[in-house]
A and B are shown apart, each in its own frame.
Chain A
Amino acid sequence: MTNKQKKMLVRILISAAALVALYFIPISGLPRLVCYLAVYILIGYDILRKAWKGILNRQPFDENFLMALATIGAFSLAIWTKSGDYTEGIAVMLFYQVGELFQSYAVARSRRNITSLMDIRPDHANIEADGKLIEADPDEVAVGTVITVQPGERVPIDGILIEGNGNLDTAALTGESMPRSVSEGDDIISGCISLNGVLKIRTTKEFGESTVSRIMDLVENASSNKSRSENFISRFARVYTPAVCLSAAALAILLPIARLIAGLAPDWTAWLYRALTFLVVSCPCALVVSIPLGFFAALGGAGKEGILIKGSNYLEALANTDSVAFDKTGTLTQGVFEVTGIHHNQLEEEKILEYAALAECASSHPISKSLQKAHAKEIDRTRVCDIQEISGHGITAKVDGLPIAVGNGKLMQKLGIPYTDCHSIGTILHVAIDNAYAGHIVISDIIKPRAKEAIAALRENGVKRTIMLTGDRKAIADHVAAELGIDEVHSELLPADKVSEIEKLLKTNGKGGRLAFAGDGINDAPVLTRADIGIAMGAMGSDAAIEAADVVLMDDDPLQIAKAIRLSRKCLRIIKQNIIFSLAIKFACLALTAFGIANMWAAIFADVGVMVIAVLNAIRALKVPK
């Protein structure tokens, strides 16, 4: 609790005790009035002061003014009617203050909790100098400096591990609880925590460009994009308070006059009392605080799961998602090519792989990399000579003096070597050794293990249409789509075609339904911007994509999309409950007051009670539904 809140609590406790004590002390007349007035001033002086300042600033219609007016009115009525019942005015003020205190406490607490969830900012970087570790400001560490990260510390800056090994806790970045083991030469992302090893890292980026800073930036600027519900509420609050005040005035003046005209007793005091009760109900606090709190909790909860959402307006859009379009490579598939088969081989598989890997050893093409990976042995480059790359065909080289050709069908035709076509999906590498066909190697992209589950989860969560947009060949695209159960496939698209494809999809999409696009970000930025919601996979992807996207998934798991949709639906449901519930109670209370059924006690309970319930309900949005 802050000092301000503590002071308030003390005031509330003293006033409540005094009120109870005064109930039992038999005093009457002027001393009684003075005692009660003292308690009233103790509990309400700040409200009275603010109300007075509001009037001076010609901004009278705020809750302070209303509370002041209502309670002073109640006091005056008690004096006028000589009832001596001053408790009511004080009680209203007391409960109002209790409500305010609760609200400020709850909001401050959840603010602290949620921001600490997301607080991954490292406070220092250790630099070794003269055999001693010096703590430096991460901002001042130059690129290429060697920093030391001790067990339990957070990696402050992106870099490459040059000494040591150990396990990294990446939970703050990816939501993944399994530690990641790292060894020398690995890229280390800032924001991870070293669990056991002492790591020496050569920085490759400045602090400001490092992953951790980029993410902090994203988190801090999130939720400044306001949603429709938030805008609705602030507009509503602007109208609501003056409207209730006017109705109160009408109740106090017009109705008794109408009764006079109708020949009935005007009953001035009763109507004035009802009007004052109206004022008590007029504070829009419950709504105004619970809605941003709900969105904030949802954004925080999502962040904890490794889903960064850039604003509450995107939560709203996510909740209405009914179509999801995917990029293929890197989003649904791993984007790393692997040797998935070796067919029609005349020699041992190992041998073919070895020759192919040797022939391709000078190439930096992903295909070559996957060959080296499958071969998994040290390459002796001295065995290879005469490497020739025939663009669009493949490679010829001499390995151990034997002529080797590795490439597509066109290369085999060119060399006049008969070959066998393959029915497998993927890139086919034909291998010829000493001008004789030796078989072919199939290299294909691997579907992510949870991609199929992800598509099914989306369908379960009410996504009607799943679409795949890819630059890849039709056969491969169709195969992957069929495997995953995707509804529509658009293949062989250039990056620009993807944008026009998205535009077409946006046009055919039903009213109200939103189209999300998930991509891993390499040349996807324009599509991410164009879709209703752009979802970038992997915060470690390209900066441009993270900039362009509305939602960033920290790990590459497509299953997170369904989770994000579920979370946003829950949040929106809570917001809706709060709006309907608060308004219903307020209007019911106003109606009951107008008919003289509810008194000021009921009104203050309705006001504070609704606020407490709405705040507690809003905090629920923090938890991601299973």
Chain B
Amino acid sequence: MKKTYKIEVDCANCANKMEEAARGTAGIASAVVNFMTQKMTVEFTEGSDPKKVMQDVLKACKKVEDDCEIYL
């Protein structure tokens, strides 16, 4: 399953870091952060709960880049 979320991040490198953090989260098959359109597209692994997984993704992103937001 694929979903796109609106995000807010100020710098391009931070966007890259968020992408990496999201990819490393359990339950995420792939993640792409688009800095220019301020969007995160994630693909969940089979059987995972998107709501729960996205909470973890947000936590992981906050850890690498304090000044970011994902609108769930």
- Asked whether A224 is an interface residue with its Cβ less than 8 Å from the other chain, the reply is yes
Given A224-B39, A293-B36 in contact, is the A234-B16 Cβ separation under 8 Å?
A: yes
| Chain A proximity of B21: nearest CB distance (Å) | 9
Q: Are A224 and B11 in contact (CB under 8 A)?
A: no
Q: Are A224 and B32 in contact (CB under 8 A)?
A: yes
Residues of A within 8 A of B66 (CB): 50, 53-54, 57
Residues of A within 8 A of B63 (CB): 57, 59
Q: Report Cα–Cα, A14/B67, bound state, in Å.
A: 24
List residues of B (49-71) whose CB comes within 8 Å of A's CBs: 63-64, 66-67
Q: Report Cα–Cα, A186/B65, bound state, in Å.
A: 54
| Chain B proximity of A618: nearest CB distance (Å) | 11
- Asked whether A500 is an interface residue with its Cβ less than 8 Å from the other chain, the reply is no
Interface string of B14-30 (1 = CB under 8 A from A): 00110110000000000
| Chain B proximity of A2: nearest CB distance (Å) | 10
- Further contacts, 8 of them, CB under 8 A, given A54-B66, A103-B11: A57-B66, A285-B12, A288-B11, A288-B13, A289-B11, A289-B12, A289-B13, A293-B12
Instruction: Closest A residue to B13 by CB, please name it.
Output: A288
Q: How many A residues have CB within 8 A of the partner chain?
A: 30
Interface string of A210-228 (1 = CB under 8 A from B): 0000000000110111100
Given A50-B66, A103-B11, A224-B39 in contact, is the A288-B16 Cβ separation under 8 Å?
A: yes
Q: Report Cα–Cα, A115/B36, bound state, in Å.
A: 10
Q: Are B64 and A59 in contact (CB under 8 A)?
A: yes
| Chain A proximity of B28: nearest CB distance (Å) | 15
| Chain B proximity of A73: nearest CB distance (Å) | 22
Q: Report Cα–Cα, A54/B36, bound state, in Å.
A: 24
Q: Report Cα–Cα, A238/B17, bound state, in Å.
A: 9
Q: Report Cα–Cα, A223/B36, bound state, in Å.
A: 9
Q: Report Cα–Cα, A225/B20, bound state, in Å.
A: 15
Q: Are A50 and B12 in contact (CB under 8 A)?
A: no
Q: Are A285 and B32 in contact (CB under 8 A)?
A: no
Residues of A within 8 A of B13 (CB): 62-63, 237, 284-285, 288-289
Residues of A within 8 A of B19 (CB): 234
Q: Are B36 and A104 in contact (CB under 8 A)?
A: no
Q: Report Cα–Cα, A54/B10, bound state, in Å.
A: 16
| Chain B proximity of A18: nearest CB distance (Å) | 25
Q: Are A292 and B12 in contact (CB under 8 A)?
A: yes
| Chain A proximity of B70: nearest CB distance (Å) | 15
List residues of A (79-122) whose CB comes within 8 Å of B's CBs: 100, 103-104, 107, 111, 115
Q: Are B35 and A292 in contact (CB under 8 A)?
A: yes
| Chain A proximity of B10: nearest CB distance (Å) | 6
Given A50-B67, A59-B63 in contact, is the A220-B37 Cβ separation under 8 Å?
A: yes
Main secondary structure of the interface of B (DSSP, over half): mixed
- What band does the interface of chain B fall in when counting residues whose beta carbon is under 8 Å from A? 20 to 34
- Asked whether A271 is an interface residue with its Cβ less than 8 Å from the other chain, the reply is no
- Asked whether A296 is an interface residue with its Cβ less than 8 Å from the other chain, the reply is yes
Residues of B within 8 A of A293 (CB): 12, 36
Q: Report Cα–Cα, A102/B41, bound state, in Å.
A: 27
Residues of B within 8 A of A285 (CB): 11-13
Interface string of A231-246 (1 = CB under 8 A from B): 0001001100000000
Interface string of A106-147 (1 = CB under 8 A from B): 010001000100000000000000000000000000000000
Q: Report Cα–Cα, A511/B70, bound state, in Å.
A: 42
Instruction: Closest A residue to B39 by CB, please name it.
Output: A224
Residues of A within 8 A of B67 (CB): 50
Residues of A within 8 A of B35 (CB): 289, 292
Mind listing 23 A-B residue pairs with CB under 8 Å?
A59-B63, A59-B64, A62-B17, A103-B11, A107-B12, A111-B36, A111-B38, A115-B37, A220-B37, A224-B34, A224-B39, A224-B41, A234-B16, A237-B13, A285-B11, A285-B13, A288-B11, A289-B11, A289-B13, A289-B35, A292-B12, A292-B35, A293-B36
Q: Are B16 and A237 in contact (CB under 8 A)?
A: yes
Residues of A within 8 A of B41 (CB): 221, 224
Among B32, B34, B64, contact of A57 (Cβ-Cβ < 8 Å): B64
Residues of B within 8 A of A224 (CB): 32, 34, 37, 39, 41
Q: Are A223 and B16 in contact (CB under 8 A)?
A: no
Q: Report Cα–Cα, A238/B37, bound state, in Å.
A: 22
| Chain A proximity of B25: nearest CB distance (Å) | 15
Q: Report Cα–Cα, A223/B37, bound state, in Å.
A: 8
Q: Are B11 and A292 in contact (CB under 8 A)?
A: no
Interface string of A573-584 (1 = CB under 8 A from B): 000000000000
Residues of B within 8 A of A295 (CB): 36
| Chain A proximity of B15: nearest CB distance (Å) | 8
Instruction: Closest A residue to B67 by CB, please name it.
Output: A50
Residues of B within 8 A of A292 (CB): 12, 34-36
Q: Report Cα–Cα, A53/B41, bound state, in Å.
A: 27
Q: Report Cα–Cα, A146/B62, bound state, in Å.
A: 49
| Chain B proximity of A239: nearest CB distance (Å) | 12
Q: Report Cα–Cα, A59/B10, bound state, in Å.
A: 18
Q: Report Cα–Cα, A100/B38, bound state, in Å.
A: 17
| Chain B proximity of A50: nearest CB distance (Å) | 6
Instruction: Closest A residue to B16 by CB, please name it.
Output: A234
| Chain A proximity of B57: nearest CB distance (Å) | 15
Q: Report Cα–Cα, A404/B19, bound state, in Å.
A: 72
Q: Report Cα–Cα, A543/B8, bound state, in Å.
A: 32
Q: Are A296 and B12 in contact (CB under 8 A)?
A: no
Q: Report Cα–Cα, A293/B37, bound state, in Å.
A: 10
Interface string of A544-580 (1 = CB under 8 A from B): 0000000000000000000000000000000000000
Q: Report Cα–Cα, A63/B66, bound state, in Å.
A: 13
List residues of A (41-75) whose CB comes within 8 Å of B's CBs: 50, 53-54, 57, 59, 62-63
Centre residue among B4, B10, B13, B35 by max chain A CB count within 10 A: B13
Instruction: Closest B residue to A226 by CB, please name it.
Output: B32
8 smallest A-B Cβ distances: which pairs? A296-B36, A289-B12, A234-B16, A288-B12, A288-B13, A57-B63, A53-B66, A224-B34
